[in-house]
Structure 1
Amino acid sequence: MSRSHHTPGPDPALRRLRIALTAFFAVDGFLFAGWVVRIPAIKEQVGASAGQLGLALLGVSAGAVATMVLTGRLCRAFGSERVTVVTGVMLALSIALPPRTHSAPALGMVLLLFGISYGGMNVAMNSVAVDLVAALRRPVMSGFHAAYSMGGLLGAGLGGLLAPHLSAATHLLLLTPVGLVAVALAGRVLLAHPLRRPAGPAPEPARPDAQEHATAPAGTEPAAAASGTAARSTAVLVAVFGLIAACTAYGEGALAEWGPLHIQQDLHGGPGIAAAGYACVALAMTLGRLSGTALLERLGQTRALVLGGLTACAGMLVGALAPYIPLVMAGFALTGLGLANLFPTAIARAGELTGPSGVAAASTLGYGGMLLGPPSIGFLTDAFGLPTALTTVAVLAAVAAGIAYAARNSGTQQTVPPRAG
């Protein structure tokens, strides 16, 4: 009887925790999608140009990036589970605020609060997910991000149905109680089963960077056991994963915040069709992430990242430049499929290396990509048009593939823990 093979998987507490954490990822995607499918209506309401909207949207990313390093510290001080619940409540409350503004500067200030909630929740729940992945001893991070995409699909679908009948203010106000109830139900489970990174003699799950730390004493944190050279090497790897996440977040943010506007403004689709465009992205990302564990186990990290980046590059060229809405939607879907596993894989590896601080560092770099996205695309749209501006997503997806390929010999290609025995 092999106890080590038996212990993590069947544990009922881990199963309940996995379900609750999946619910948090789904709520995050649901609320965010509710906001993005209403961007065209809110842009019209505040009378913003593309450049002004880009600066206002900067509030989401600026708030997220500004709070991410702080959130890493808060997770270590109070526990990632508590921070996840608190920021989840903040996100559910702040979703109702954007349609109650009437100028681009006011919208930007409200979106700063929304971004603080969104960024804090993402770091905290990803930190919980990293610890849960270690406890389960399987690369299931993509499954949590699949729940985010599924939530996004539901949020976009609901937004498309409600857009012709409800104002943006009424629609987003209705999302607040939905978010609060979900956070309350899932949060009870999360707080009842806190996970901690092992600090005692109990062995940690085998990790992809095991060779690098093979001589470290059992039960020590990697950063404590590593020499100065190894610590610098770890920091470089976290930065590499952060850059991959940055290229991916730029693309995800562009698709979410500018994709519906492209369909409605440039191709003259209605608000329901614009929402369906984002729903295509969310559906493709859901399918990609549901198959992410199998893909990583079969291909390994490097091949999966390179293939994803190149797929997203091809898809975005079609989505940005095709003259017909069905082709644009197909291009958006292909882009979503390609991007699906880049961000979760990068964040998971950074978390495996240094825990919540790695998640926070890679997330900060990642959302730095989203920070650059809204104003860059807004200004490029004013100068060259939105279709041309969206091609920058294709460029950065190709860059992400290139980074992953260049780092293939740095110990980054292994994602699946070695099987016991």
Structure 2
Amino acid sequence: MLRASAAPYADFVPLINKTRTHNVVPGRELVGLRVAITAFFALDGFIFSGWVVRIPDIKHQTHASAGALGLALLGVSAGAVLTMMLTGRLCRRYGSHPVTVVWMVVLALSVALPPLTHSAPALGAVLLVFGAAYGGVNVSFNAAAVDLVAAVRRPIMPSFHAAFSLGGMVGAGVGGLVAGFLSPTRHLLGITVLGLLVTAVAGRSLLRHEPPVPPVDDRGPAAAGTGRAARVAGRWLVVGFGLVALCDAYGEGAMADWGALHLKQDLTASAGTAAAGYACFALAMTAGRLSGTALLGRLGRARTVIAGGAVAAVGMLLGSLAPSVWVALAGFAVTGLGLANIFPVAIERAGALAGASGVAIASTLGYGGMLLGPPMIGFMADWFSLSTALTSVAALAAVAALIGVATRRALNG
């Protein structure tokens, strides 16, 4: 499936993510590399969700108002956006593997800092560091995953993002269990220790291997399309894939921040049932990503993106306009299934075209969608209603499907 992608990869990034010419022995070494990268994805989700579940406690500790806390939380977003493009350049210079290890060490250390703050400005400052590490590690380990996908010639990218989702679910569950008897300081310090231990083990495997070289295209270098027009077209395709990621991440952010409120406010659901709304979405998305490799192998990337966007659009229309709670919950689950593999495919294709730079561009646009979604829906809810505002998720899912139609040849390599 990935055979044709080797040519544009070689054209745009002949030495990207590689510090020297090398070969990687197939088989056991690639399996070990896949396990190590998967561990970093899972650890990233675990660390981030561990911080998120302690936000109420940190708010109380810092005596921050809702507005002040909101401004402090922008530090995560600002730090991430600032370092994503920088990380692309770092990966080109030093390789994605060492950059991943360094950023993960910073992320593990910085998650212990929020409980040490006692004011909203101080919290915002440490969250800027935390966000910088979060954005950096997301670009670097996605770049490492893109290299591995190209080398193994199998559509395994969704499995890495499934690991992130599973890590997040485990981190949230553990955080909920220990919140009653562990202070935020001890809890997040424990996450730091665990994060450093996992990084030491998985990082050793990652640093032992150079990023694998994709197999040489059977058609020869003439098929690569080395002209300026091909390079310009490649850049526009990367932006297009970044917009696909934005449409997907917009929906994820909207569901996380507004799904439960919609169920409670518009459909008079109980607090417990409302909380189950995002759980239905997240579980369906995780299940979709776990089956993503098989789905991509069967349908191909283009049809997966097109069908996923269409399914998510239908699911979100159902979830936002349903007259009953249970129909809305079913709609949320369908939306999660539809969106599950769009983001991984978009990142993988951007990386195949432009290496770490492509991953950085697509990740920045995608993260921008996650930032854009919640406040845009809030504004639209004030102008119209929350249920109407949530239909924008369906609209952007449909846009992702349309971009998939327009770029179907590039999506399939």
Q: CA deviation at 1:214?
A: 5.8
2:358 alignment counterpart:
358
Indicate if the aligned counterparts of 2:261 and 2:274 stay in contact, CA closer than 8 A.
no
Deviates more, 1:149-158 or 1:118-127: 149-158
Q: CA deviation at 1:377?
A: 4.0
Q: CA deviation at 1:333?
A: 2.9
2:149 alignment counterpart:
133
User: Hey, what's the Cα distance between the residues in 2 that align with 1:30 and 1:166?
Assistant: 17
User: Hey, what's the Cα distance between the residues in 1 that align with 2:322 and 2:71?
Assistant: 27
1:235 alignment counterpart:
235
2:303 alignment counterpart:
303
User: Hey, what's the Cα distance between the residues in 1 that align with 2:258 and 2:52?
Assistant: 9
Which of 179, 194, 205 is the aligned partner of 2:195?
179
2:44 alignment counterpart:
28
1:204 alignment counterpart:
216
Indicate if the aligned counterparts of 1:308 and 1:339 stay in contact, CA closer than 8 A.
yes
1:341 alignment counterpart:
341
Residue by residue, what CA displacement relative to the aligned partner does 1:173-224 show, whole Å, maximum 9, x if unpaired?
Answer: 43222222111111111011121546xxxx5367xxx7xx8615xxxxx6xx
**Equivalent runs, 1:309-320 vs 2, <5 Å:** 309-320=309-320
Deviates more, 1:169-178 or 1:244-253: 169-178
**Equivalent runs, 1:79-98 vs 2, <5 Å:** 79-98=95-114
Partner of 1:96: helix, strand, or coil? coil
Matched, 1:119 2:135: yes
TM-score (normalised: structure 1): 0.80
**How many residues are treated as equivalent by the alignment?**
388
Partner of 1:355: helix, strand, or coil? helix
Deviates more, 1:381-390 or 1:225-234: 381-390
Residue by residue, what CA displacement relative to the aligned partner does 1:265-284 show, whole Å, maximum 9, x if unpaired?
Answer: 885525x973x554433322
Identify unmatched segments of 5+ residues in structure 1: 1-6, 217-221, 416-421
User: Hey, what's the Cα distance between the residues in 1 that align with 2:178 and 2:322?
Assistant: 28
Q: CA deviation at 1:137?
A: 1.6
Which of 269, 272, 276 is the aligned partner of 2:271?
269
1:66 alignment counterpart:
82
Q: CA deviation at 1:31?
A: 1.7
Deviates more, 1:144-153 or 1:259-268: 259-268
2:373 alignment counterpart:
373
Partner of 2:30: helix, strand, or coil? helix
Indicate if the aligned counterparts of 2:253 and 2:371 stay in contact, CA closer than 8 A.
no
Partner amino acid, structure 1, of 2:313:
C
Indicate if the aligned counterparts of 2:159 and 2:293 stay in contact, CA closer than 8 A.
yes
User: Hey, what's the Cα distance between the residues in 2 that align with 1:389 and 1:40?
Assistant: 26
Which of 392, 395, 410 is the aligned partner of 1:412?
410
Indicate if the aligned counterparts of 1:54 and 1:378 stay in contact, CA closer than 8 A.
no
Deviates more, 1:101-110 or 1:281-290: 101-110
Partner amino acid, structure 1, of 2:239:
A
Q: Which of the pair is proportionally richer in helix? A: 2
2:19 alignment counterpart:
none
Deviates more, 1:78-87 or 1:295-304: 295-304
Q: 1:253 to 1:90 in 2, by over 3 A?
A: farther
Indicate if the aligned counterparts of 1:61 and 1:370 stay in contact, CA closer than 8 A.
no
User: Hey, what's the Cα distance between the residues in 1 that align with 2:122 and 2:387?
Assistant: 27
Indicate if the aligned counterparts of 1:72 and 1:356 stay in contact, CA closer than 8 A.
yes
1:399 alignment counterpart:
399
2:17 alignment counterpart:
none
User: Hey, what's the Cα distance between the residues in 2 that align with 1:311 and 1:182?
Assistant: 37
TM-score (normalised: structure 2): 0.81
1:419 alignment counterpart:
none
Partner of 1:412: helix, strand, or coil? helix
Q: CA deviation at 1:55?
A: 4.5
User: Hey, what's the Cα distance between the residues in 2 that align with 1:64 and 1:358?
Assistant: 16
Residue by residue, what CA displacement relative to the aligned partner does 1:355-374 show, whole Å, maximum 9, x if unpaired?
Answer: 11111122122222123234
For the aligned residues, what is the CA RMSD?
A: 3.3
Q: CA deviation at 1:258?
A: 4.7
Q: CA deviation at 1:334?
A: 2.5
Which of 182, 200, 222 is the aligned partner of 1:215?
222
1:219 alignment counterpart:
none
Indicate if the aligned counterparts of 1:22 and 1:147 stay in contact, CA closer than 8 A.
yes
Q: 1:195 to 1:8 in 2, by over 3 A?
A: closer
2:27 alignment counterpart:
11
Q: 1:330 to 1:67 in 2, by over 3 A?
A: same
1:286 alignment counterpart:
286
Percent identity over paired residues: 62
